Amino acid sequence: MLIARSLAELREGCVRLRAQAGALALVPTMGALHAGHGSLVERCRKENDVAVVSIFVNPTQFNDPADLNRYPRTIEADLRYLETLGVDDVFFPTQSEMYPHGYRFRIEPHTGTPIMEGAYRPGFLSGVMTVVLKLLNIVQADRAYFGEKDYQQLRTVREMAEDFFVPTEIVGCATVREKTGLAASSRNALLPPEISGKAPALFRALTEGASCEETRAVLVQEGFRVDYVEEYWERRFAAAFLGNVRLIDNVPLRQTRRK
């Protein structure tokens, strides 16, 4: 498994591997890998000849510096995990490698009324689109894999790639859940033991609530501080804090008790 810290190293590795095989695909991550990332990599390996995974905690998508600082970083464990999954290349760049001139240029979403993550995390979608476009240009992947837990992000990236004529196919993959229903997330590791047992209530509220209002009320009763519960694209979405950890999730409306 090649570990590339620079664009030059990654490009050299990708050219070599593509020459030996065929389709090359990318799984962009911010590290702190879990079973959800593993499922993306496994599907990537199944559908392509070469699997590239990027690990980069992208500072431009964090509107809260404290949130950026406490985001879990487990690079040694991540590399061991990726090796067991048969990844070919890992791109692990520095901030200066990805933003050599600072945040000089960025992609902004359309000027309509922002919703959900766009409303509650100013700059988040711009930071995601900008770094993903950089990664797609660097890797020149045939496909790139994203999880449906971050469904708004997935839609935004797909629309960005379409509007900028990026030839990479953006592939969405189903959310991986624990037996309790809790969506796999790097942020789960930040939950203190004394409150982590309440986290599965987010999924239960999303699926068992008959409406957004009922879902919000259940979450508040369970001790969450709710940012939003909203419905778009035939799905119900929620973002809420448990302690100081912000969790997000979404489910198709057909899986809810919506009346």
**CA dist., res. 53 & res. 66, Å (int):** 26
What's the burial of 33, exposed, middle or buried (CB within 10 Å: 0-12/13-18/19+)?
buried
34 catalytic residue (yes or no): no
- Considering the candidates 34, 37, 101, 110, report the single residue annotated as catalytic: 37
Taking each helix axis from N to C end, the angle separating 124-139 and 151-163, rounded to the nearest 10 degrees, works out to 60
- Matching residue, tokens 């760049």: 93
**CA dist., res. 77 & res. 152, Å (int):** 28
- Show which residues are catalytic: 37
